[in-house]
């Protein structure tokens, strides 16, 4: 598979991961008693939808040859790969109960993310000299976007 195929495959893997979280989180919270603010509220669903849509938009722009979206997509892939391990796998092991998103994170997102970044580097869509700082910056930006998207989702839900 080439980068263009892998860009959309990664976006699809992330979408399936987000869907798993959205569907299984309410029952998981009831079973475990673990409280995460906003996790099952409309604003969380809005944030998940925004990230999911954003992944597909970035995949399309990266496939069209735009450089900045390619780095953003690869940075998002790194963030999602890390997310599969911490918190998903870590919480599953710590709590000894399946945490929603763990299976899709490890079986779909992690490999898709790794293949995507490898293809981007191999096809010279990105270069290491930029990627080493762009990926962490994108991951931090995505993390910072979560409270902003939740706030926007709250505002829209009113």
What pLDDT is attached to residue 23? 85
Nearest CA-CA partner of 85 in 12, 11, 17: 17
User: Who wins on pLDDT, 30 or 153?
Assistant: 153
Length of the chain: 158
Domain residue limits, the chain: 3-157
Contacts 24+ apart (CB under 8 A), 38-42: 38/150, 41/157, 42/153, 42/154, 42/157
pLDDT tens digits along 70-101: 999 999 999 999 999 999 999 999 999 999 99
pLDDT band at 36 (very low <50, low <70, confident <90, very high): low
* pTM (predicted TM-score): 0.92
Average predicted confidence (pLDDT) for the chain: 92
């Amino acid at each position: 598979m080439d980068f263009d195929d892998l860009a959309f495959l990664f976006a699809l893997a992330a979408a399936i991961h987000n869907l798993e979280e959205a569907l299984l989180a309410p029952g998981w919270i009831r079973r475990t008693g673990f409280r995460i603010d906003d996790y099952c509220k409309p604003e969380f669903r809005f944030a998940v939808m925004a990230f999911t849509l954003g992944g597909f938009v970035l995949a399309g722009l990266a496939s069209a040859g735009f450089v900045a979206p390619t780095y953003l997509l690869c940075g998002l892939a790194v963030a999602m790969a890390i997310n599969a391990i911490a918190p998903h796998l870590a919480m599953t092991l710590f709590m000894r109960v399946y945490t929603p998103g763990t299976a899709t994170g490890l079986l779909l997102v992690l490999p898709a993310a790794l293949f995507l970044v490898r293809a981007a580097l191999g096809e010279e869509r990105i270069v290491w000299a930029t990627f080493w700082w762009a990926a962490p910056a994108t991951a931090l930006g995505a993390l910072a976007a979560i409270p902003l998207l939740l706030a926007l989702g709250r505002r829209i839900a009113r």
